[in-house]
Each structure stands twice: as C-alpha cells, then as structure tokens.
C-alpha cells in the first residue's frame, strides 16, 4: 500500500449497517500493514471543517468514507482539493454512487477496493455551488427525499412508506425553462434530473449512455410517470422512449422554474428553488474502484 495514514469517516446513523464491524475490520487490516488509522464519526455539526483539519494535522494520504451518498458527498467536498484517493464503503439506504461504480457487496471486498490503487477520476457536477457526484433533481423525487428525511423510518422501507403520500401531495407536472450551451427550451416534467452517472440508487438506469468521467452531464426531462417505462429502467434497457424521458447532454446549463420546486443533490434534500446554475468540474475526484 503506497500510503501511510488513513482517515476513516463514519456516519453513525446512515442506512441500517453495523458500523462497528466496518471500523474494526478496517482497523485490523491497517494494523497488519503497519499503516496509521484515524477515525472520525460525523456529528452533523461542522463535519466538513473537522475532516479538513484532521487531513492536514495527521498528514492523511488516504480517506475512506463509510456512509450513504450524503456522507460521501460531504467528504468528497473536502477531498477534491487534495491529491488523494477516496475509498468508499457503501453504508447508506440507497447507495447510488456505489451502484454506479459497481462497488462490491461484501465488506471484505469493499475494504480491499477502498484501500486499492485502481481508481476513476470522476467528474463533479456543481449546482448553485453545491457539488454532486451522481444524481440531482428537481421535482417529485426531491419531494420524496424531503418526506423521508422528516420521517422516523430509515432504509429502503422508509422511502417505500413515503412514496404514496408524496404522489398524493405533489403538484406535478412542473414547468421549466432549460438553457444549455447548445439549446433553449421550455419543458413540462414530473422530474428534471441532472445526471453525472447512469443510475439512481434503486438501480434504475435512467441515463444509459452517460459516463461519470466524460466531462459531460445529462439533463433528464421525465415527462410522465409511466410504470412500464420505469420497469424498463430497472431492467437496464438502453432504449428509453423519448416520450417518457428526453435526454439533453451539456457542459453547463441554467434551469428556471415557474414556481419554486423541491431540489435534491445526491439524496440530500436542499430546499425549494426557482433557478439552478449547473457546471461540470471535469475529472476532479479520484475514487477507488474494483
Ligand atoms: N451523528 C449524526 N446524527 C444525526 N445525523 C447525522 C449524523 N451524522 C450525519 N448525519 C446526517 O446524515 C445524513 C447523511 O446520510 P447519508 O446520505 O449518508 O445516509 P442515508 O440517507 O442513510 O443514505 P442514502 O443517501 O444512500 O440513501 C445527512 O443529512 C447528515 O446531516
């Protein structure tokens, strides 16, 4: 292993995974290799600043994050400014980034991958100054995430419980104006996605031709809720009906909404927005992959 000091960042509340097991297995592995081990447990208060201080003070040269997409995003925001590889141990409810990077399911293999040298230089999306590693959107999915975050049920079951009230309360379709470097258009959509990757954490392949390291992102205009088409995305079908989803590639864009619309980034609810400025930071983050 070509690093000396490892920082493991753990979110104690994400998903329903046993974090003690993750911590002890990483620690044991590093002890055998005589590599320094440092642990940071997120508190939801100034985590970003505390992680940065630890990286500087302890000369950290590999960071591993065990948490869901929100925690990975938080750590990535700091790590992107350093020349180091970020290892990911998926420990959230949906694990969208891990699904897109094909990270292993078994903890031992996840740890080996996180400590390995094989990596991808991931593009980062920047939306109103907030970074996004895989998926962000305006509309009904962000409303679902908002309802999930305020409920007491965690994990996939928590999302399932919130899906019916979200559908009933939502005022879709929403009206958007989309401006990219190549086109300007008005759109009516249930969901307007900004994709740096192919899939949502559910495995739904909504952006089959996208790639996380090609310097381009895709705007996904979901025009209707169609069970048949949603099933196609879950079956990984690559030809999606343009009447279901229109895909617009871009390197920068501005989206304006007629009324404030719920907005989420990497599974974290941000708030209601009327304007989103999007740009891509090409190959900005090194993430360990199998
Ligand atoms: N110690 C803590 N106590 C309470 N909340 C915390 C703590 N540490 C982090 N958080 C919160 O955890 C959330 C991030 O959770 P994360 O996205 O990693 O997991 P998840 O929601 O279970 O998974 P996923 O995003 O994959 O569905 C953030 O909203 C953050 O504020």
Atom 14 (ligand 1): residue with closest C-alpha?
70
DSSP 8-state symbol, 202: T
Query: 66 lies in a domain?
Result: yes
Q: Are residues 137 and 109 in the same domain?
A: no
Identify whether the C-beta of residue 89 lies closer than 8 Å to the C-beta of residue 21.
Answer: no
Q: Are residues 109 and 137 in the same domain?
A: no
Q: Are residues 177 and 52 in the same domain?
A: no
Last residue of a domain, which of 117, 144, 159? 117
Compute the distance between CA of residue 142 and CA of residue 155 in angstroms, rounded to an integer: 16
Helix (H, G, I), strand (E, B) or coil at 212: coil
Q: Are residues 106 and 134 in the same domain?
A: no
Q: Are residues 167 and 279 in the same domain?
A: yes
Contacts of 221 (CB under 8 A, 6+ apart): 176, 178, 187, 189, 192, 245, 246, 247, 248
Each residue's pLDDT tens digit, 169-206: 888 999 999 999 999 999 999 999 999 999 998 889 99
Angstrom distances, CA of residue 73 to CA of 19, 22, 130, 219, 221? 18, 19, 10, 20, 24
Each residue's pLDDT tens digit, 2-14: 899 999 999 999 9
Distance 68 CA to ligand 1 centre (A): 7
Distance 280 CA to ligand 1 centre (A): 25
Distance 94 CA to ligand 1 centre (A): 12
Each residue's pLDDT tens digit, 55-81: 999 999 999 999 999 999 999 999 999
Q: How many domains does the chain have?
A: 2
Q: Are residues 277 and 138 in the same domain?
A: yes
Distance 197 CA to ligand 1 centre (A): 21
pLDDT at 93 > cutoff 80: yes
Residues with CB under 6 A from ligand 1: 11-15, 42-44, 67-71, 92-95, 201, 267-268
Q: Which pLDDT score is estimated for 158?
A: 75
Query: 288 lies in a domain?
Result: no
Each residue's pLDDT tens digit, 114-154: 999 999 999 999 999 999 999 999 999 999 999 888 877 77
Beta strand 268-288 pairing with 252-265? antiparallel
Please give the residue range of the domain that contains residue 38: 5-117
Provide the ipTM. 0.95
Query: 123 lies in a domain?
Result: no
């Amino acid at each position: 292993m070509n690093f000396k000091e490892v920082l493991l960042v753990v979110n104690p509340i994400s998903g329903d995974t046993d974090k003690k097991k993750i911590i002890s297995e990483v620690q044991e592995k590093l002890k055998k290799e005589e590599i320094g081990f440092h642990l940071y447990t997120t508190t939801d208060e100034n985590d970003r600043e505390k992680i940065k201080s630890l990286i500087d003070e302890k000369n950290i040269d590999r960071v591993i994050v065990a948490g869901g997409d929100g925690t990975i995003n938080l750590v990535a925001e700091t790590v992107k400014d350093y020349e180091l590889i970020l290892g990911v141990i998926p420990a959230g409810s949906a694990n969208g980034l891990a699904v897109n990077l094909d990270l292993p399911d078994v903890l031992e293999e996840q740890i080996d991958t996180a400590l390995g040298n094989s990596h991808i230089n991931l593009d980062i999306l920047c939306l109103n100054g907030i970074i996004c590693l895989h998926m962000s959107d305006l509309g009904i999915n962000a409303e679902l995430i908002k309802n999930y975050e305020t409920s007491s049920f965690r994990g996939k079951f928590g999302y399932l419980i919130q899906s019916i009230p979200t559908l009933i309360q939502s005022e879709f379709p929403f009206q958007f104006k989309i401006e990219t470097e190549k086109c300007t258009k008005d759109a009516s959509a249930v969901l307007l996605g900004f994709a740096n990757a192919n899939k949502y954490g559910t495995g739904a392949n909504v952006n089959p031709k996208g790639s996380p390291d090609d310097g381009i992102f895709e705007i996904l205009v979901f025009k209707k809720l169609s069970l048949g088409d949603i099933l196609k995305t879950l079956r990984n079908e690559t030809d999606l009906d343009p009447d279901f989803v229109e895909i617009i590639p871009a390197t920068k864009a501005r989206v304006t909404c007629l009324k404030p619309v719920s907005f989420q980034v990497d599974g974290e609810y941000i708030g209601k927005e009327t304007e989103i400025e999007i740009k891509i930071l090409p190959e900005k983050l090194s993430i360990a992959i199998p």
